[in-house]
A = this chain, B = another copy of it.
Amino acid sequence: MADDRRFRVTYRIAISDEAEALERARAVALEQTVEVPDDVVPDGWIRDEIVGRVDDLRPSGAGAFEAVISYSPESAGHEAVQVLNVVFGNASILAGLRVTGFEPGPVLSGRFAGARFGIAGLRRLTGRDRCGLIAPVIKPQGSSPAELARIAGRCVEGGADIIKEDHGLADQPMAPFETRVRAVADAVGSANARTGGRALYFVNVTGAGGDPVAQAHRAKELGGTGVLVMPGLVGWQTVQALASDADFGLPVMTHPAFTGAFVLSPDFGIAHGLLYGALQRLAGSDISVFPNVGGRFGFTSGQCLEIVEACRDEAGLGPPILPSPGGGMSVGRAPDMVAMYGEDVVYLLGGSLLRAGDRIGDEVRKMREAVERSGA
Interface residues of A (CB under 8 A from B): 27, 31-37, 39-42, 45-46, 49-50, 74-79, 81-82, 84-86, 88-95, 139-143, 166-168, 170-174, 206-214, 230, 232-238, 240-241, 244-245, 256-265, 268-270, 291, 296-298, 350-352, 354-355
Contacts and interface: CB of A to CB of B under 8 A. Distances in A.
17 contacts: A34-B141, A35-B166, A35-B168, A37-B351, A40-B352, A78-B171, A79-B206, A81-B230, A82-B172, A84-B233, A85-B258, A86-B168, A89-B230, A89-B258, A93-B256, A93-B263, A95-B298
B85 A168 contact: yes
Top 7 closest A-B pairs, CB basis?
A235-B235, A36-B351, A210-B241, A93-B260, A207-B237, A92-B260, A34-B140
A28 B96 CA distance: 29
Given A93-B256, A235-B207, A350 B35 contact: yes
A167 B89 contact: yes
Of the candidates A32, A170, A261, A270, the one having the most CB atoms from chain B within 10 angstroms of its own CB is A261
Nearest to A31: B296
B50 A85 contact: no
A190 to B, nearest CB: 24
A261 B272 CA distance: 14
Copies held by the complex: 2
A115 to B, nearest CB: 17
A141 B50 contact: yes
A212 B233 contact: no
Contacts of A355: 37, 39-40
Contact of A233 (B173, B208, B235, B265): B235
A257 B92 contact: yes
B34 A93 contact: no
Given A40-B351, A45-B142, A46-B142, 8 more contacts: A37-B355, A40-B354, A74-B174, A75-B141, A81-B207, A210-B244, A233-B236, A235-B235
Contacts of A92: 232, 257-261
Contacts of A269: 261, 264
Contacts of A265: 261, 264-265, 268
A15 to B, nearest CB: 13
Of the candidates A79, A84, A260, A262, the one having the most CB atoms from chain B within 10 angstroms of its own CB is A260
Contacts of A268: 260-261, 264-265
Given A82-B170, A230-B85, A350-B35, A291 B93 contact: yes
Of the candidates A49, A168, A270, the one having the most CB atoms from chain B within 10 angstroms of its own CB is A168
A278 to B, nearest CB: 16
Contacts of A93: 256, 259-260, 263-264, 291, 297
A258 B36 CA distance: 19
A45 to B, nearest CB: 7
A32 to B, nearest CB: 8
B207 A257 contact: no
A211 B237 CA distance: 8
A141 to B, nearest CB: 6
A233 B236 CA distance: 6
A230 B50 CA distance: 22
A210 B238 CA distance: 6
A85 to B, nearest CB: 6
B210 A240 contact: yes
A82 B140 CA distance: 15
Contacts of A141: 33-35, 46, 50, 75
